[in-house]
Chain A
Amino acid sequence: DAKTTQPPSMDCAEGRAANLPCNHSTISGNEYVYWYRQIHSQGPQYIIHGLKNNETNEMASLIITEDRKSSTLILPHATLRDTAVYYCIKWGPAGSARQLTFGSGTQLTVLP
């Protein structure tokens, strides 16, 4: 069975970069890597996604390895409001209506 591995928890000092790793045991060539986060008592929030190139937006950067089985989400200057559960999800192909399959995610705690 395909498996996604994320550390269950991580801490990060406020103002420092938070680097969240993710590994997929298998990933198809047409599957994207998506990252969502969920702050307590809120719905999941879309952060970023990528296929094989590194991506950056106003929230974060995404680094994807050449074999695409590993990715790292980077929050460049973490704030207390970034404390949340972060989910790494493979999804595709492009344009599909497929549902998102969430794992257990990583609980990131940003410390003052």
Chain B
Amino acid sequence: NAGVTQTPKFQVLKTGQSMTLQCAQDMNHNSMYWYRQDPGMGLRLIYYSASEGTTDKGEVPNGYNVSRLNKREFSLRLESAAPSQTSVYFCASSEALAGVWCEQFFGPGTRLTVL
């Protein structure tokens, strides 16, 4: 099992360009998440998807859109990249059973630089 995979690993964009970060999990988890980590900071939740077909905003959603393509895949799109979006992006997934906390498994991250 690969767990949570993310592509690409690295990306450099110019201000105003768009791109999509891809995430896939092979653990049959219901819930998926996107976080960003800025230097010297903890991870912050951007968007999440509690189950296939649903998505919702987290703590820092501005400038991003997401798509839960199917149960396995959850993509994050930057429509018009800004330097403030330079960060490391982590995708995560969890079983998220109702009333029971389940561990979140994280991907290796995508390091994005916006010039």
Q: Do A and B bind each other?
A: no
Q: Which B residues form the contact surface with A (CB < 8 A)?
A: none
User: Chain A residues in contact with chain B, CB under 8 A?
Assistant: none
